[in-house]
Every structure is written in C-alpha cells, then in structure tokens.
Homo-oligomer: A and B are copies of this chain.
Amino acid sequence: VKLADLDTPAALLDEARMQRAIARMQSHVSALGARLRPHVKTSKCIQVAQRQREAGAAGITVSTLKEAEAFFGAGFDDILYAVGMAPQRMPQALALRRRGCALTLVVDSAAAAMAVIGGARAAGGAVPPVLIEIDVDRHRAGVAPESAELLDIGRLLHEAGALAGVMTHCGASYECRGEAELVAMAEQERALTVRAAERLRAAGLPCPTVSVGSTPTALFARRLDGVTEVRAGVYVFYDLVMAGLGVCRADDIVLAVLATVIGHQRDKGWVLVDAGWMALSRDRGTAAQPLDQGYGLVCDERGALLEGWIVNQANQEHGIVEHRSGRAPLDVAERFPIGTRLRVLPNHACATAAQHERYAVLDGDTVRAVWPRFSGW
C-alpha cells in the first residue's frame, strides 16, 4: 500500500524518526546509569513498545489496567500502573498478579495505602508492591518529600511487605521556558525524589526503586544519581509542545495526521480539510507557549513543512488551514486544490493518537505496516 492510497484522515508514523527518538532517549538514560521504563499510554500499541524494549527498555509504565492487561497479554510482564490506585480496581490488579504479571501500584496517601492493603487481604492475596508517589512540583498528585505522611505511608506498606520505593512525575516541566529551566527542573525532580527515598531509608524503611520522569526532564537531566529508573512517554512520537519546549525539532515529530483538502474560502485565505478535532484532538497545548501552533502545523503529503501554515480552527470533521500571518500569499484554491493531501503535526501526540484506531507506518511513501492501537478502559 502506498501513502497515496490511504483514506483520510489517518494517523501516520514515520518509522525512521521513531527509531531515532527511541535510540536517543535510551542512550541518554542508560548513559546516566538508570533504567528506562517507557510510558506506553502515548502509543497504546504493542509494536511500538516492542521497539522500545528491543532498544533496551526495562519494563513499561501504563495509565490504565486495560493497558496492563493488553501489554501483559503481549509478553510485557514488568508493569507499573502509574495512576493512584482506586480501591475498586484491586480485584483486577490482583488477577493480573496471579497470572504472573509483575504489576506495581502507586499510592499517595495513607488512606489509599490502607485501601490497597485491605483490598488485597480481603481477597486473600499478598499485597502487591507499591510505590509512594512524591510531589516534586506542586503540579498534581503525590505527598510532599518532607511530609510526615510519607513516613506513615512507608510504614503501612512496609509492615504489609509491599513497600517498593518512590516515584514522581514532573508535569511542571511542560511549563518550563528554555534549557536552563528544564535542566533545573530535572535536577529538582531528581533531588526531591531521592530526598524522599533517603527519608524512608533513614526511618528504617526499604526503598529499592526511585523512579522519576517526564520526557522533558528525562532528556534535560544532567545526572541521575540515586535514581534507579526513568519513565517517559511522549518522546516516542514527540509533538509540537515538545518542539516548543526545545526537546525536539518539528521535523523530528513521528506522528502526523493525513488530511484531504475539501474546500476553500478564498477571500479569507482558508483551506478546509477533512481533519477536524475528531482526527487532531481538541488539545491546544501550544496555546500556552510562545508560538501557538493552532491545532497543528501543516506539511505537504510527503511531510515537508509548509512554512507558516497551521490548522487554525477545528470542528468535528472540518479543519481550517490558514497562513499564520492571516494573509495567504496567493490564491489558496490554486495552491491547495480540492483533493490535495496534507500532513498535520499534532500539538500533543498522546491526545491526537487517542483519536485513531490504527497507525499507518511509513517508510518513505510506502505504508510498511498498519499497527492497531487500543483505547477505552
């Protein structure tokens, strides 16, 4: 199958770029002495995770137990479920453990730790290993590294034989500006997570795993002393938010949405395409960055950037492509006739990929394979 034969909209993966992205992260994390545990929520695709494993990844991270089940079924048996554990999900988690999956859970409160311990005991099983989530950036979840609750949770889990260590996700890294801020944020993430581990150890509690991560902090980390593993997700595809942060260039981006021109509003310089928010997602992550990329940056069908053209508005199945300047340089109906095919680079690869059921894997203009992705809960 050729690129020209694909129906639109379609999610495209540039496999050569993906292999470079995987190799870059793996070699960076390995060189700093840590293991890499990729977050597969970005791709939700077995074939992508297999390539990460072939490059040296140790285990995977998931955002849902459905991901855990799908990847375990495909031979991935070392899985961190990195969302705070809801008590109702204990039977599902314990079933995975019984089937041989080395599933690790996460909590960030004594209440959640007690729910996990109580849930496992009520089911008559061992308590699964648990990481304590640490809040290093006041961004989302986690206990403060200096809190008394950290030690309370540690004691509860240790007494249950379930304390596996600490983990954090430094989501604030997405709001950094420039290399110096990213390097400092990576060091903040490392230092505060290691500090939490040291407090547990000083209290006589074991803390074998020290897990940190986000794509920006992983790639801008200068050292990982005391860290045992790094988790990162979006690096496998990159996106415009990552490009805006300086993590990659636009032409490193692996994922694109193929679209077809279906109309014009010539007086306004608009090109209407058949990729709306259903295909691109509603994510507007670059709106908070210095360069707002609308709903995505436009390339020609072969992937060459069309300088200044973005998807500026999106309805369900309509995208409106405009020149960033607001002035089209010539008649858009002549430049982009009906039927013209374009690629759109996404703001946020995790969100855009989630709108699609499969990836068309490209080698040049050949569709080398079609890889399914799964969704739902």
Task: Give A contacts to B, CB under 8 Å.
Answer: 7-10, 41, 63-64, 83-89, 108-109, 111-112, 115, 135, 140-141, 171, 260-265, 272, 274, 277-279, 281-284, 313, 315-318, 320, 333, 337-339, 350-351, 354-357, 375-377
Taking A263-B112, A377-B9 as contacts, is the C-beta distance between A86 and B283 under 8 angstroms? no
Q: Are A338 and B282 in contact (CB under 8 A)?
A: no
Interface of A is mostly: loop
Minimum distance in angstroms from A342 CB to a CB of chain B: 12
Q: A140: which of B85, B87, B272 is its contact (CB, 8 Å)?
A: B272
> Can you name the residue of chain B whose Cβ is closest to the Cβ of A133?
B263
Complex: A376 Cα to B349 Cα, angstroms: 17
Q: Which residues of B contact A108 (CB under 8 A)?
A: 263
Taking A111-B337, A112-B338, A357-B375 as contacts, is the C-beta distance between A141 and B83 under 8 angstroms? no
Q: Are A316 and B63 in contact (CB under 8 A)?
A: yes
3 nearest A-B pairs in the assembled complex, by CB-CB distance:
A282-B282, A84-B262, A84-B263
Q: Are B88 and A339 in contact (CB under 8 A)?
A: yes
Q: Which residues of B contact A272 (CB under 8 A)?
A: 84, 140-141
Q: Are B111 and A333 in contact (CB under 8 A)?
A: yes
Q: Which residues of B contact A89 (CB under 8 A)?
A: 7
Minimum distance in angstroms from A272 CB to a CB of chain B: 6
Complex: A356 Cα to B140 Cα, angstroms: 24
Q: Which residues of B contact A351 (CB under 8 A)?
A: 277, 282, 316
Q: Which residues of B contact A315 (CB under 8 A)?
A: 140, 171
A-B contact pairs, 16 of them (CB 8 A): A7-B89, A7-B377, A10-B377, A63-B317, A84-B263, A85-B262, A88-B339, A108-B263, A115-B338, A135-B265, A140-B318, A140-B320, A141-B263, A277-B351, A282-B282, A282-B351
Q: Are B350 and A316 in contact (CB under 8 A)?
A: yes
Q: Which residues of B contact A337 (CB under 8 A)?
A: 111
Minimum distance in angstroms from A354 CB to a CB of chain B: 6
Extra contacts besides A282-B284, A316-B351 (15): CB < 8 Å: A7-B88, A63-B317, A64-B317, A84-B262, A86-B274, A87-B339, A88-B339, A109-B338, A111-B338, A112-B262, A140-B313, A140-B315, A141-B262, A141-B263, A354-B355
Complex: A313 Cα to B175 Cα, angstroms: 14
